[in-house]
Amino acid sequence: MGAYCKDYQMFDNYNYMGRSSQDLRFSKHLYDNVHGNIYVDPLFLKFIDTEQFQRLRDLKQLGTTHMVYPGAVHSRFEHSLGVYWLAGEAVHKLKAHQGSELDIDNFDVQTVKLAGLLHDIGHGPFSHLFEREFLPRVIRGSKWSHEQMSVEMVDYIVDEHNIEIESDTVKRVKEMILAGSDFASKNSAREKQFLYDIVANGRTGIDVDKFDYIVRDCRACGLGCNFQFQRLMETMRVMDDEICYRAKDYLTVHKLFATRADLYRTVYTHSKVKAVELMIADALVQANDYLEIASHIQDPSQYWKLDDTIIKTIETAPVQELKESKDLILRIRRRDLYQFCNEYSVPKDNLENFKDVTAQDIVCSQKNGGKTLREEDVAVSNIRIDLSRGSNNPLACVNFFKDYDSDEKFPISDDKISHLLPTSYQDMIVRVYSKKAELVGVVSEAFENFQLKTYGIKAQVHATPQKKRRRASNI
């Protein structure tokens, strides 16, 4: 990745399109280290100045990533403000360029911005870890999602704080929050569907949520970012109720997906980051019976009290019931992490019918002799990385236009894009950890046997680090 994303301050001297300086007098002025000056109107402040929204300050945007990238301590509070701002910028630009044609009114502007502000208010402790790693282990067949909790939290905040807001506004905001996750329901019959694609875009995956977190995460982790969302926001156009982009900008669109995938590979699923995640998930599971953590998801009035500080609660509680969880957290504090043994990328031919590898698969692949493995000695992480559309080319879902005089929209087919771009759009990585340092060699050998049994070859690229084998033999 190249140099840092530039032009973060492009909105510094920006006065809302169509807004007077008189209007700005009643707005709160905030400074964001990514987007510069942000102005928050009174209605949105009513939501921000609640304990439920302020809770987002105690949810790190990247969960446990700060354990590897020390700068990644930014919160969902900052991100939510950033998405609020970009959502407003996007709808104002569309209104300025195609206002009479699109019939964008103040109700549209207000709902898009509020959806941007509240889209992540339903996230749990350590964000996606809570939803994807913890809940499925304590609630069989859990279908819980932070998007659904977000809409429940919106209702709760409005009722709890007696916020004066039209019911139609709340209804549309909730629909916009769910737009990215429920698009399979084919709700494209909505009026002004393009507005629903600004914050969470289920059609193309291009939305201001990604614009913000990609730039913000790259900056916090000290990575380069040469994806410029400003270019897309300046040139986007609505055609047939869908946001389209200039054909000459297809590489910028592709860079959005490629940068996101690169973040997943190098940051979000870093081997040490995943080791900490696995340990925290185990700690939460073991603490669940005593703290009844999972029961909070049924009631927004209790749920908002959950945040990342739950680890400190476990760590300092003077009760024997939490000893196993405390011990795991102490190991994290002392950097005594689950030991990464090895990984492999699932062969392309096996991706379509791939089934998640489990600890049981690894244990059952152990040959006789030596130390006997148990399932609780092994942790497996099945990591899916794609360009947002699984094995499909994400550009195939995006419509483009030739120039501003054109009335025709079209996708860009594989044979018309640069041959330097990837032809495979999905990667599946199986990563195995030993929960005990002395078992690294045994787990690694069982993992190699599993690969030979499953694929007839050893699919991993590198050998288990010798220093880990030596360390294990000296224990």
Structure tokens, 151: 């809409």
- Residue 146: active-site member: yes
Closest CA to 408 of 221, 213, 173, 246: 246
Specify the DSSP element, H or E, that contains 239. strand 237-239
List Cβ<8 Å contacts ≥24 apart for 301-307: 301/156, 301/160, 303/122, 303/124, 303/149, 303/153, 304/51, 304/52, 304/55, 304/153, 304/156, 305/55, 306/124, 306/125, 306/130, 307/55, 307/58, 307/59, 307/125
Residues 6+ positions from 173 with CB-CB distance below 8 Å = 111, 114, 115, 118, 154
Closest CA to 179 of 154, 214, 204: 204
Structure tokens, 422: 């990837």
Closest CA to 56 of 262, 304, 360: 304
Kindly state the greatest CA–CA separation across the chain: 80
- The active-site residue, picked from 35, 66, 79, 146, is 146
Q: Active-site residues: which are they? A: 146
